[in-house]
Structure 1
Amino acid sequence: MKTILFLAANPKNTERLRLDEEIREIQESLQTSSNRALIDFRQQWATRPDDLRQALLRIKPQIVHFSGHGETGGIYLENDAGMALPVNPDALSEFFGLVTKTAPIQCVLLNACYSEAQAEAIAAHIPYVIGMNAAIGDKSAIKFAIGFYDAIGEGRTIEDAYQFGCSAIRMENLPGHLTPVLRRKRDARRVSPPTSSETSKNAAVVQPVAEAWREEEWATLLYAIRQERCLLLLGPDAAGIQQNGAFQPLNELLAQSLAEQIQPQVQAWRLNPANLTQVAQHFALEKGRDTLEMRTVEFYEEYADQPNELYRNLAALPFALSIVTTPDPLWPEALRQEQKEPGIARYHLNSNNSAIIQTGTSQSPVVFYLYGHLDEPASLILTENDLLDFLVPVITKNPALPNNLLSELRDPRKSLLFLGFGFHHWYLRILLHILLQGQSKENYSIALEQATPHPSEELRNTLLFYGGSKYKLHLYQYDLLDFSRELRQRYEIEAANKFNKTRLNSAPCVFLCHAPEDVTMAAEIAAQLETGGFRVWRDARQQRGGSLWPQILEQAIQASEYVVVMHTNAFCSCQDVYVAQEIECALARQTQFRLGVQFLIPAQFGDCPIREELEHLKSVTLPSAQDAAPLLQTLKRDQERRKKK
Structure 2
Amino acid sequence: MSHTILFIKINPIGTSNLFLDSEIKIIEDVLQKSAYRDEYTIISKGAVTIDDLHEYLETYKPQVLHISGHGGNGSLFFHDKENYKKNVSVQQFCMFVKNYTEHLECVFLNACYSLAEIKDISPSYAPILIGMKEEVANTTAILFSKAFYTSFFSGKPVSKSFDSAMGVVGIDGFGDERIPVIMGNTSTTHIKSNQSIEEPQNGSPKMSIKKISRTTWSSDLTILRNTLANLYVDNEDIKRILDESAIDISSIAFSNKPVNTWHGILKYLYKRAEFDNFLEVISVENPEIQSKYIDN
Counterpart-to-counterpart distance in 2, 1:119 and 1:33? 34
For residues 24 and 176 of structure 1, the distance between their equivalents in structure 2, rounded to whole angstroms, comes to 28
Which residue number in structure 1 is paired with residue 153 of structure 2? 153
Q: Does residue 109 of the first structure (1) align with residue 136 of the second (2)? A: no
Q: Residue 87 of structure 1 aligns to a residue in which SS?
A: strand
For 1:158 and 1:129, how far apart are their aligned partners in 2? Answer: 10
2:11 match: 10
Question: For residues 9 and 175 of structure 2, what CA distance do their matches in structure 1 show?
Answer: 23
Deviation of 1:177 after TM superposition, in Å, equals: 5.8
Higher relative CO (CA 8 A, sep ≥ 6), structure 1 or 2? 2
Once the two structures are TM-superposed, the CA of residue 48 in structure 1 deviates from its matched residue by: 0.4
Q: Secondary structure in 1 aligned to 2:174?
A: coil
Paired position in structure 1 for 2:165 = 165
Letter in 2 for 1:138: N
1:53 maps to 2:61: no
- Does the CA contact (< 8 Å) of 2:128 and 2:186 recur in 1? no
The reply to whether residue 68 of structure 1 matches residue 69 of structure 2 is yes
Instruction: Decide whether aligned partners of structure 1 residues 179 and 148 sit closer, same or farther in structure 2, where only a CA change above 3 A counts.
Output: same
Structure 2 distance, partners of 1:161, 1:4, is 15
Name structure 1 gaps, 5 residues minimum: 188-244, 247-452, 454-645
Q: Which residue of 1 aligns with 2:174?
A: 174
Question: Matches of 1:45 and 1:175 in 2, distance apart?
Answer: 31
Which letter maps to 2:114? S
Structure 1 letter corresponding to 2:111:
A
CA distance in structure 1 between the aligned counterparts of 2:26 and 2:172, rounded to whole angstroms: 15
Contact 2:125 2:184 in 1 (8 A): no
CA offset digits 1:320-377 (Å, max 9, x no partner):
xxxxxxxxxxxxxxxxxxxxxxxxxxxxxxxxxxxxxxxxxxxxxxxxxxxxxxxxxx
Change (3 A) 1:87 1:123: farther
What is the alpha-carbon distance in structure 2 between the residues aligned to residue 12 and residue 110 of structure 1?
20
1:93 matched to 2:100: no
Displacement after TM superposition at 1:28 (Å) = 0.7
Identify the residue that residue 444 of structure 1 maps to in structure 2. Answer: none
Which deviations, in whole Å up to 9, do the C-alpha atoms of 1:454-512 show, x marking residues without a partner? Answer: xxxxxxxxxxxxxxxxxxxxxxxxxxxxxxxxxxxxxxxxxxxxxxxxxxxxxxxxxxx
Letter in 1 for 2:167: S
Superposed CA offset, 1:291-327 (max 9, x none): xxxxxxxxxxxxxxxxxxxxxxxxxxxxxxxxxxxxx
SS in 2 for 1:181: strand
Aligned CA distance change for structure 1 residues 70 and 176 (closer, same or farther; 3 Å) = farther
Please say if residues 72 and 114 of structure 1, whose CA atoms lie closer than 8 Å, have aligned partners that are also in contact: yes
Change beyond 3 A, Cα 1:70–1:149: same
Gaps of 5+ in 2: 188-197, 200-218, 220-296
- What is the match of residue 316 of structure 1? none
Q: Report what 1:210 is aligned to.
A: none
* SS of 2:173 mapped into structure 1: coil
Equivalent position of 1:198 in the other structure: none
1:625-644 to structure 2, matched below 5 A, reads none
**1:467-478 alignment runs, 5 A limit:** none
Q: Distance in 1 between matches of 2:145 and 2:52?
A: 22
Aligned CA distance change for structure 1 residues 32 and 109 (closer, same or farther; 3 Å): same
Decide whether the 8 Å contact of 2:65 with 2:106 is kept in 1: yes
Q: Report the CA distance between 1:19 and its aligned residue.
A: 0.9
* Partner Cα separation in structure 2 for residue 120 and residue 69 of structure 1: 21
Q: Does the 8 Å contact 1:89/1:121 carry over to 2?
A: no
Output the amino acid matched with 1:15: S
Query: 1:142 maps to which residue?
Result: 142
Q: Which amino acid aligns with 2:5?
A: I
Please give the alpha-carbon distance, in whole angstroms, between the structure 1 residues aligned to 2:59 and 2:120: 25
Distance (Å, rounded) in 2 between the aligned partners of 1:186 and 1:54: 28
Q: Whole-Å Cα distance in 1 between the matches of residues 175 and 19 of structure 2?
A: 17
Whole-Å separation in 1 of the counterparts to 2:107 and 2:118: 11
Distance 2:119 2:127 in 1: 11
1:445-456 correspondence to structure 2 within 5 Å: none
CA apart distance, 1:73? 2.9
Which amino acid counterpart does residue 134 of structure 2 have in structure 1? A
How many aligned positions are there? 189
Letter paired with 2:27: I
Equivalent pair of 2:79/2:86 in contact (CA under 8 Å): yes
The residue correspondences of 1:206-225 to structure 2 (distance < 5 A) are none
Offset, 1:88? 2.4
1:92 shift after superposition? 1.3
- State the AA in 1 paired with 2:143: K
The answer as to whether partners of 1:97 and 1:125 remain within 8 angstroms in 2 is: yes
Give the 3 Å change call, closer, same or farther, for CA 93–122 of structure 1 in structure 2: farther
Report Cα offsets for 1:381-437 as digits up to 9, x if no partner. xxxxxxxxxxxxxxxxxxxxxxxxxxxxxxxxxxxxxxxxxxxxxxxxxxxxxxxxx
Q: Secondary structure at the match of 2:183?
A: strand
1:122 and 1:36 map into 2 onto residues whose CA distance is: 33
Residue 106 of structure 1 aligns with an amino acid whose one-letter code is E
1:540-582: CA deviation from partner (whole Å, max 9, x where unpaired): xxxxxxxxxxxxxxxxxxxxxxxxxxxxxxxxxxxxxxxxxxx
Query: C-alpha displacement at 1:126, in angstroms?
Result: 2.6
Counterpart for residue 26 of structure 1: 27
Contact 2:4 2:43 in 1 (8 A): yes
Over the matched positions of the two proteins, sequence identity in percent amounts to 29
1:99 Cα deviation from its structure 2 partner: 2.1
Within-5 A mapping of 1:280-429 = none
Structure 1 counterpart SS, 2:59? helix
Specify the structure having the higher radius of gyration (Cα): 1
Counterpart Cα distance in 1 of 2:126 and 2:139:
27
Structure 2: distance between partners of 1:122 and 1:115: 17
Residue 99 to residue 127, structure 1, CA distance change in 2 (3 Å): closer
